[in-house]
Amino acid sequence: MTELVHLDVEDSIGVIRLSRPTMNALNAEMTEGIRNAAEDAAARPDIAAVVVYGGPDVFAAGADIKEMQPMDYTDAFVRGARLQKAFDAVASIPKPTVAAITGYALGGGCELALACDFRVAADDARLGQPEILLGLIPGAGGTQRLPRLVGPSRAKDLIFSGRFVDAAEALTIGLVDEVVPAAEVFETARRRMRMYVGGAAVALRAAKEAVDRGLETDLATGQEIERGLFSGLFATKDRTLGMQSFIENGPGKAKFEGR
């Protein structure tokens, strides 16, 4: 684990903390740190949900351009694969995740936020995919995750123009889920994740898998994925506890064990 990326755990909520002064520019070391932290968070049974956070000033202002500038085709191909693998590791965490966005989430920083299930942004945050202004396109999922989230037309507007959007517009187009004062971003993100602590962890994992895999295929295949995951949950202790509690005590009172 690099000093530039930390995984901390408190009250069953993991926090993947980016910590590279001054703008959390995503260099190769940070990329590997994000991948390692995501894989660790996915594997640890003491973590129920995850916050990705860049600190009180900036989420991540994009890739380290000085590191990228001398790259040739082969270098860029390898670098792009590593960046995609890191963000895919975040997207694959089988637990609820949220990006807590302060300051800027641009380029790779925006793509990292897109890899999370939810996004909470500061009211003065700015988001965007400005790679076109460098003669490039997003290379870590932006051309794929952004249109799936906000629709192809809005995604093309952002990617073709490279313009930044403020928090209000990001909320309107569905790029973020909640906007709060900057000082409240981290705690708001933690509060969103706190509701999943003590929840039916296996069912949450299945729900996330069903949605994410279903988005990649046709409706009929998606329903087959859903049916398999749904029926598989009948083999879990949590399903037994949940149904028994519902019958005896009504909804919302079950004490789950995560198995």
Mean of pLDDT values over 178-207: 97
Nearest to 229, CA basis, from 72, 221, 136: 221
pLDDT at 63 exceeding the cut of 90: no
In three-state form (DSSP H/G/I as H, E/B as E, the rest C), the secondary structure along the chain is CCCCEEEEEECCEEEEEECCCCCCCECHHHHHHHHHHHHHHHHCCCCCEEEEECCCCCCECCECHHHHCCCCHHHHHHHHHHHHHHHHHHHCCCCCEEEEECCEEECHHHHHHHCCCEEEEECCCEEECHHHHHCCCCCCCHHHHHHHHHCHHHHHHHHHHCCEEEHHHHHHHCCCCEEECHHHHHHHHHHHHHCCCCCCHHHHHHHHHHHHHHCCCCHHHHHHHHHHHHHHHHHCHHHHHHHHHHHHHCCCCCCCCCC
15 phi and psi angles, rounded to 5 deg = -120, 115
Find where tokens 């005590």 sit: 249
More confident residue, 258 or 181: 181
Q: For residue 35, which amino acid is it?
A: R
pLDDT tens digit sequence for 68-106: 899 999 999 999 999 999 999 999 999 999 999 999 999
- The span from the CA of 66 to the CA of 52, in Å, is 24
CB 150 within 8 A of CB 207: no
Nearest to 41, CA basis, from 86, 74, 75: 86
Q: What CATH homologous superfamily does 201-249 map to?
A: Lyase 2-enoyl-coa Hydratase, Chain  A, domain 2 (1.10.12.10)
pLDDT at 180 exceeding the cut of 70: yes
Active site residue 178: no
* Residue 145, token pair as written in the block: 């995750």
pLDDT at 218 exceeding the cut of 90: yes
Query: Catalytic one among 131, 178, 216, 257?
Result: 131
> Is the entire prediction scored with pTM above 0.85?
yes
Q: Which CATH architecture has domain 5-194?
A: Alpha-Beta Complex (3.90)
C-alpha distance across the termini of the chain, in Å: 29
More confident residue, 22 or 128: 128
CA–CA distances in Å: residue 9 to residues 100, 126, 179: 16, 28, 24
pLDDT at 253 exceeding the cut of 90: no
Query: Catalytic one among 29, 67, 111, 257?
Result: 111
- List the beta bridge partners of residue 23: none
- The span from the CA of 163 to the CA of 133, in Å, is 9
pLDDT tens digit sequence for 135-177: 999 999 999 999 999 999 999 999 999 999 999 999 999 999 9
- The span from the CA of 173 to the CA of 51, in Å, is 22
Give residue 112's pLDDT band: very low, low, confident or very high (50, 70, 90). very high
The domain segmentation of the chain, as residue ranges, is 5-194, 201-249
Active site residue 131: yes
Give me the pLDDT at residue 115, please: 98
pLDDT tens digit sequence for 5-23: 999 999 999 999 999 998 9
Give me the pLDDT at residue 136, please: 95
* Residue 235, token pair as written in the block: 């083999």
Give residue 121's pLDDT band: very low, low, confident or very high (50, 70, 90). very high
pLDDT at 1 exceeding the cut of 70: no
Which residues have a Cβ under 8 Å from the Cβ of 200 and sit 6 or more positions away? 238, 239, 242, 254, 256, 258
Question: Most distant CA pair in the chain: distance in Å?
Answer: 66
